Structure 1
Amino acid sequence: MATFETALRENSISELMLVPKSDIHTHGGKGGRIKYFAEWANTSIKASEQPFEDLNDMQNWFDSNIKVHDNGIGGYLKRVETAFAQAKEDNIVVLALSFSISVIDNLGGIDKFISTLNYYNKTFAPETKYYPELSLSREDDVNGVFDRLNEILSRNWFKSIDICGNELAQPIKNFQKIYRKAQSYGVKLKAHIGEFGTADDVMEAVELLELSEVHHGIAAVKSKEVMRWLSKHKIQLNICPTSNIMLKRATSYYDHPIKELFENGIPVTVNTDDLLIFDSSVSEEYMKLYVNKVLSIEELEVIRQTGLNTYT
């Protein structure tokens, strides 16, 4: 059986794909390989070679290259299938795939949504332990979301909650009552913070929402005080290197802040974010970090284990 160390030393993606890994920062309708989706759409799609200017530019690329091939709900479900198929192919044994309330509604309500996602998990990635994540937008109507929480979380199916999107859309404190309600259901509390914002934004969000994990959080590297605080409180950062580079949050793999964050004692994981846009698997992310001498094999192994143990 392939080992993590051997696969990295031999620069073998095929061997690395056999090693158990996690992907705990990835979005449901964007979690698979471009090639898999393109074959279904009977077309050719190439990932962007140039970084995006911002999230809007990224979304425009996605709409023009991926969503244009969707055929109603069938196209969306093919993208969901693509995400689970990718998890199986890359031996992702711990997967936190996120979905919005609008997707729940589009798939027929919470009970139909749960049965549909359970079917896709069982059919396309039966060995993968799936931990569903409820994804909110920073632009959401907070009161409207709050009114839906009991209906959605009372099934005890979602294992975590997240906020993504434009970090400047509204103050993070507006989501406090949502997170207190979610906390009462025992779900993990996460949020996209510090991708575009500041180190202080990361610390503020963790304190106000009582987060245990932050998606991205790389802006924390700009403050020694914040890094010490995150390390002391064992706040995990779920980092996506290629996403950060493609959105101009990092200049290169070699200079990616994951190294400094890790060296300052902060638990970090390696993830894909939007694989159907960035086209870089978890295995490829690990290989890029190793080949570019960002982290050693021993350090990457610690990170791999952190991901695998996130839900234990």
Structure 2
Amino acid sequence: MRDEWSEAFINALKSRDKERMRQIPKADLHNHFVLGGSRSFICERKGLMIPALEGVLKSMQEMDQWNQEFIGKYFESSEGRRFLIEAAFVQAREDGVTVLEIGEDVWGLGQYFDHDVNALTEAFFSARDKYAPDLELRLLVGLSRHCPVQWLMEQLEPFWGRPEFCSIDLYGDEMA
């Protein structure tokens, strides 16, 4: 069956058949939920129109600027962060995602979840249960290359040994 799905997906890509692509089960193994949420869900619930990205972003800085202008500044609270998590699960369900790897940056634990890793994991699992209950959820933790290694190690403490977390996203300027 796996080969049939792969071939069907390749054919849907070649023919640019977005609806067929959505019907085929797939994994999203690197989702930045702040940028991965359903724009229609956000508009419907919050009245915020997020434009489709036009063109190609040339750097992380451009991505950060675009994010801040159209998304970030509107959701800079614990409630806002949880809402964006929900929007990501709505989009994953719409896209036919059956395995989703998604998570929060280490700094987000303090900024949005009061340093409570249980609150963070609950936000993801409750959104999954509400919007995409059949989806396999794998949590990741984000680390910025711009942060001092000792600080990152301290921030990682609450995540060690947690079975919900299966990967690390080392992101940012690769020259940092």
TM-score of the pair, normalised by structure 2: 0.83
Which residue of structure 1 lines up, in the alignment, with residue 159 of structure 2? 152
Runs (4+) off by over 6 Å: none
Which residue of structure 1 lines up, in the alignment, with residue 113 of structure 2? 107
Q: Is 1:98 aligned to 2:103, yes or no?
A: yes
For 1:123, the aligned partner's letter is K
CA distance in 2, matches of 1:112, 1:44: 29
Which residue of structure 1 lines up, in the alignment, with residue 56 of structure 2? 51
Which residue of structure 1 lines up, in the alignment, with residue 146 of structure 2? 139
- Alignment map for 1:76-87 (pairs within 5 Å): 76-87=81-92
> Residues 138-191 of structure 1, C-alpha deviation per residue, up to 9 Å, x if partnerless?
01221122234343122222111120011111xxxxxxxxxxxxxxxxxxxxxx
- Structure 2 residue matching 1:131: 3-state secondary structure: strand
> Residues 251-286 of structure 1, C-alpha deviation per residue, up to 9 Å, x if partnerless?
xxxxxxxxxxxxxxxxxxxxxxxxxxxxxxxxxxxx
May I ask how many residue pairs the two structures share in their alignment?
A: 168
User: Aligned pair in 2 of structure 1 residues 155, 10: CA closer, same or farther (>3 Å)?
Assistant: closer
Instruction: Give the greater-gyration-radius structure (CA).
Output: 1
Q: Matched residues, percent identical?
A: 23
Q: Is 1:62 aligned to 2:78, yes or no?
A: no
User: Aligned pair in 2 of structure 1 residues 127, 139: CA closer, same or farther (>3 Å)?
Assistant: same
Which residue of structure 1 lines up, in the alignment, with residue 130 of structure 2? 123
Where structure 2 has 5 or more consecutive residues not aligned to the other structure, the ranges are none
For 1:168, the aligned partner's letter is M
TM-score of the pair, normalised by structure 1: 0.49
Whether contact under 8 Å (2:106, 2:156) holds in the other structure is no
User: Aligned pair in 2 of structure 1 residues 47, 134: CA closer, same or farther (>3 Å)?
Assistant: same
Where structure 1 has 5 or more consecutive residues not aligned to the other structure, the ranges are 170-312
Which residue of structure 2 lines up, in the alignment, with residue 167 of structure 1? 174
Whether contact under 8 Å (1:32, 1:86) holds in the other structure is yes
Which residue of structure 2 lines up, in the alignment, with residue 285 of structure 1? none
